[in-house]
Amino acid sequence: MKNKTLITGVAGAIGSVFYKAFQKRFPAKSLLGVDNFKSGTLFNLVDFKGEFCDNDVSDVNFWASLDPDKIDAIYHFASNVDTCDYNSVEQFKNVNALKCITSFCSINNIPLLWTSSASVYGNQTGKFKEDMDLYPESPYAISKMLAENVVRQYQEMFPEAKVITIRPFNVYCGEAEKHKGKMQSMPYQMLNTLTYSNKMELFAYGEQCRDFIFVEDLVDLMLHAMYNSEKSEIFNGGTGTACSFNELFNIFKELMAQNAEIVYKPKKVKHFQTFTCADMTKVETLLNWKPKFDLKAGIVKMIEDFNCFLKHKG
């Protein structure tokens, strides 16, 4: 009997927020969570009510140990999240994971939702549409594009298979991403830095623009897409609005009543998207979905959660 929903990367920033939303919406569902803690933390599993196993989802032996007759759906968030990691072997695990998962899904036609990345678009102008050509520039972005190729080949072999691919833009999560170090979102980095300092370092000259989406909106989009899409689709996971780092800094200054200043530094990252903005037309048309949080509202929520954490910690 199919009675378990599998969530990979369940101890990560997105995965942990997702399982909480899933448990709330579907309290009768059984969950199986998987994480190898390379980019996740046990602290994110405090509220997890399902079965958990510590495994690498790019390992074929893990998938061979599961019974496909018991899995009703898979939500795949496990990934090498270090976009600055140039180790091709490590990044290719993103591809191997999709090979394992699609092979497993094919046995019993199990629906799959997984996260690719907006980095596959590379440096392009205008809003990014799902049917645009892709120009990934980093090993991380290339691995996500190759993983999408795996999914495409799987769909060609199994036309009835349902695979929802989400390309998240710049996701900010708050305390769920505290453990991520240098890979924390820019909003969280600003919040954490300005809590303890009145200076914020940015790559010169803070004019980089990003489409920032609050994690609660992204999770809501994922659930909406999985349950309202009749067939396989690729969807952008953004808001349709871009904001510069300078503008983001000013939002924090206002909300935190901070008399802070920016210190600009040279850009040292090899591959850096100077602009990202999702075209959300497909999502709005096919799913009738729009984000609930604009950037300022999302940051207000993140600050509230951060202050609650500090109070509880103190």
Would you name the residues annotated as active-site residues?
A: 140, 180
Dump the DSSP string for 31-62: EEEE--SSS--GGGGTT--SEEE---TT-HHH
Q: Cα separation of 40 and 5, whole Å?
A: 19
Q: Which residues, in sequence order, are bridge partners of residue 218?
A: none
- In 262-271, which positions are buried (b, 16+ CB within 10 angstroms) versus exposed (e)? beeeeeeeeb
Cα 23 to Cα 47, 229, 293: the distances in Å are 9, 21, 21
Q: Cα separation of 222 and 232, whole Å?
A: 13
Q: Which two tokens stand for residue 233?
A: 């689709």
Count of beta carbons in the 10 Å neighbourhood of residue 276: 22
Q: Which residues, in sequence order, are bridge partners of residue 214?
A: 172
Q: Which of 24, 22, 21, 17 is nearest to 4 (CA)?
A: 22
Give the SS3 label for residue 239: coil
278 contacts: CB under 8 Å, gap ≥ 6:
118, 127, 128, 167, 169, 211, 236, 237, 238, 239, 240
- In 26-61, which positions are buried (b, 16+ CB within 10 angstroms) versus exposed (e)? eeeeebbbbbbebbbbeebbeebebebeebbbbeee
Measured in degrees and rounded to the nearest 5, phi and psi for residue 133 equal -65, 150
Q: Which two tokens stand for residue 98?
A: 């999709």
